[in-house]
């Protein structure tokens, strides 16, 4: 790792700590209110309105809530794919069939996750998505996203690139997580849009 890459990695780790601390301080009521608003804002995005298949995720803890959004997308007739975490931190995918189709899964060293119980479609299923919703901690004015550092979605983005797939990439955040600048590393991919409880912002390619 070069000196510049090491500096960027360290800066990312510090920013992650700050943002995660802010999320942990949120009340349950604040999280619920934000989730309802986020669902309403996200569906305003043409990238989601025009998508037939959306790869999404089930929020955990104080992440910006996605449960309401999943149901809005499904009610709109969209095929919604949700991830299944594999032992090596890669992601498999299964179709979301409503709240009753989710089950809590314990992964060693991870938070307990809600995952779909339908048939696993394989890690490459994401390449059929027209839009991919990405978890994150921040995005900057260039559309660069700061993830949690686990690497699962870096693999998803690499898989999309290898397949020549170009779905719209949308990150879901709280309002104050749109920041001036995110530390950049060579593997980082810009997103096309961010949805927050107060609105949406799109970035030029």
Taking the C-alpha atoms of residue 97 and residue 80, their distance in angstroms, rounded to an integer, is: 8
184's enclosing H/E stretch is none
What is the sign, positive or negative, of the torsion defined by CA atoms of 151, 43, 197, 30? negative
CA-CA-CA-CA torsion for 95, 66, 135, 202, nearest 10 degrees? 110
Q: How many CA atoms does the CB half-sphere of 203 hold within 13 Å?
A: 20
Taking the C-alpha atoms of residue 46 and residue 150, their distance in angstroms, rounded to an integer, is: 29
Q: CA-CA distances (angstroms) from residue 76 to 48, 73, 79, 187?
A: 10, 5, 9, 34
Tens digit of each residue's pLDDT (9 = 90 or more) over 159-179: 999 999 999 999 999 999 999
Q: Looking at residue 183, what is its pLDDT?
A: 87
Tens digit of each residue's pLDDT (9 = 90 or more) over 109-164: 666 789 999 999 999 999 999 999 999 999 999 999 998 878 899 999 999 999 99
**pTM of the full predicted structure?**
0.92
Is residue 57 helix, strand or coil? coil
Tens digit of each residue's pLDDT (9 = 90 or more) over 61-100: 999 999 999 999 999 999 999 999 999 999 999 999 999 9
Taking the C-alpha atoms of residue 72 and residue 19, their distance in angstroms, rounded to an integer, is: 28
Taking the C-alpha atoms of residue 63 and residue 78, their distance in angstroms, rounded to an integer, is: 23
Q: Looking at residue 3, what is its pLDDT?
A: 61
Distant-in-sequence, close-in-space partners of 24: CB < 8 Å, separation ≥ 6:
62
Written as six digits, the tokens of 2 are 């070069």
Across the strands, what pairs with 94?
Answer: 82
Contact predicate 195/170, CB 8 Å: yes
Q: Looking at residue 5, what is its pLDDT?
A: 62
Q: Looking at residue 110, what is its pLDDT?
A: 67
Q: CA-CA distances (angstroms) from residue 74 to 41, 45, 53, 202?
A: 16, 16, 10, 23
202 pLDDT above the threshold of 70:
yes
């Amino acid at each position: 790792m070069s000196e510049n890459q090491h500096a960027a990695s360290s800066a990312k780790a510090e920013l992650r700590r700050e943002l995660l601390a802010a999320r942990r301080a949120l009340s349950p009521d604040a999280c619920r209110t934000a989730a309802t608003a986020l669902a309403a804002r996200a569906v305003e995005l043409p990238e989601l309105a025009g998508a037939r298949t959306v790869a999404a995720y089930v929020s955990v803890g104080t992440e910006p809530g996605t449960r309401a959004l999943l149901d809005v997308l499904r009610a709109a007739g969209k095929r919604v794919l949700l991830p299944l975490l594999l032992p090596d931190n890669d992601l498999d995918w299964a179709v979301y069939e409503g709240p009753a189709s989710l089950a809590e899964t314990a992964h060693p060293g991870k938070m307990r996750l809600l995952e779909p119980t339908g048939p696993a479609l394989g890690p490459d299923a994401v390449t059929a998505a027209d839009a991919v919703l990405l978890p994150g901690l921040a995005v900057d004015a260039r559309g660069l996203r700061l993830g949690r550092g686990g690497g699962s979605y870096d693999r998803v983005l690499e898989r999309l690139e290898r397949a020549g797939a170009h779905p719209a990439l949308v990150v879901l955040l709280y309002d104050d997580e749109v920041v001036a600048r995110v530390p950049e590393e060579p593997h980082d991919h810009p997103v096309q849009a961010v949805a927050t409880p107060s609105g949406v912002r799109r970035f030029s390619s």
